[in-house]
Amino acid sequence: MHINILAFGIAKEICGGSSLQLEVPDHATAGDLKQLLAEQFPRLGGLASFLLAVNEEFAAPDTRLSARDEVAIIPPVSGG
């Protein structure tokens, strides 16, 4: 299935834009997608951390994805 992914901050620069699409196996989890992203964009692995949010909530690695989810790459936050 196709997953739409938002990218913010330095992740936007690493991924080459503020949104991207990736093809993942049906029943893929957030952890699977994170691994795919790290393979496709090795510089993500060089960050202090990167998390995924699914539908505006930080996602545990075992969170199941569906094609309608809004997924976002969350590099280390630095607000305030």
Partner 1 sequence: MDIQIQISDKPLDIMACIAQVTKPNAGGIDVFIGTVRDTTQGKAVLRLEFEAYQSMAIQEMHRIAEQAAAKWPVHSMTIHHRTGVLHIGDAAVVIAVSAAHRAAAFEACRFAIDTLKKTVPIWKKEVFEDGEVWVAAHP
Residue 60 backbone dihedrals phi, psi, to 5 degrees:
-70, 155
Task: Looking at 1-80, list the stretches that DSSP marks H as alpha helix, in order from N- to C-terminal side.
Answer: 9-15, 30-40
C-alpha span between 71 and 48 (Å, rounded): 20
Place of tokens 């992203």: 37
Query: 22-61: which residues touch partner 1 (CB under 8 A)?
Result: 46-48, 53, 56-58
User: Can you tell me whether residue 62 is helix, strand or coil?
Assistant: coil
Residue 21, interface with partner 1 (CB under 8 A)? no
Place of tokens 């496709």: 40
The site for partner 1, by CB under 8 A, has a size of: 21
Smallest distance, partner 1 to C-beta of residue 16, A: 15
Residue 80, interface with partner 1 (CB under 8 A)? yes
CB-wise, 11 or 24, nearer to partner 1?
11
Which stretches of the chain bind partner 1, using CB under 8 A? 6, 8-10, 12-13, 46-48, 53, 56-58, 72, 74-80
